[in-house]
Amino acid sequence: MVSALFPTYPRADLSFETGEGAWLVASDGERYLDFGSGVAVNSLGHAHPHLVGTLSAAAASPWHVSNLFRIPAAERLAERLAQASFADLVFFTNSGAEAVECAIKTARKYHAANGRPERYRLITFEGAFHGRTLATIAAGGNPKYLDGFGPPVDGFDQAPFGDLDAVRALISPQTAGVLLEPIQGEGGVRVAPPGFLPGLRALCDEHGLLLVVDEVQTGVGRTGRFLAIEHSGVAPDIAALAKGVGGGFPLGACLATAEAAKGMTLGAHGSTYGGNPLATAVGNAVLDIVLEPGFLERVAQLGGLFRQKLAALEDRYPQVIEEVRGEGLMFGVKTRVPNMAFAAAARAAGLLTIPASDNVVRLLPPLIVTESEIAEGVARLETACASLAQEKRAGAQG
Binding-site residue ranges for pyridoxal 5'-phosphate: 96-97, 129, 214-217, 272
Q: How far apart are CA 96 and CA 183, in angstroms?
A: 15
Q: How far apart are CA 81 and CA 268, in angstroms?
A: 22
Q: Where are the alpha helices (DSSP H) in 176-229?
A: 196-207
Q: How far apart are CA 320 and CA 232, in angstroms?
A: 32
Catalytic residue among 125, 214, 331, 334: 214
**Which residues participate in the annotated binding site?**
96-97, 129, 132, 214-217, 271-272
* SS3 (DSSP) at 213: strand
**Which residues participate in the annotated binding site for N(2)-acetyl-L-ornithine?**
132, 271
Nearest residue to 221 via CA among 128, 306, 294: 294
Distances in whole angstroms, Cα of residue 278 to Cα of each of 43, 50, 56, 73, 250: 18, 14, 9, 9, 10
Number of C-beta neighbours around residue 116 at 10 A: 14
Confirm whether 92 is a catalytic residue. Answer: no
Q: Which pairing describes strands 31-34 and 156-159: parallel, antiparallel, or unpaired? A: unpaired
Q: What is the identity of the amino acid at 321?
A: I
Catalytic residue among 91, 129, 156, 249: 129
Q: How far apart are CA 125 and CA 203, in angstroms?
A: 15
* SS3 (DSSP) at 104: helix
Nearest residue to 384 via CA among 310, 323, 326, 329: 310
Tell me, rounded to whole angstroms, the distance of Cα 246 from its chain centroid. Answer: 12
- List Cβ neighbours of 69 (8 Å cut-off, separation of 6 or more): none
Q: How many helices and strands, by DSSP H and E, does the chain display?
A: 12, 17
Q: How far apart are CA 98 and CA 2, in angstroms?
A: 31
Nearest residue to 366 via CA among 14, 2, 26, 38: 38
Confirm whether 214 is a catalytic residue. Answer: yes
Burial class (CB in 10 A: 0-12, 13-18, 19+), 297: exposed
Confirm whether 129 is a catalytic residue. Answer: yes
Residues 364 and 354: beta-carbon distance below 8 Å: yes
Nearest residue to 392 via CA among 342, 325, 358: 342
Q: What are the catalytic residues?
A: 129, 214, 243
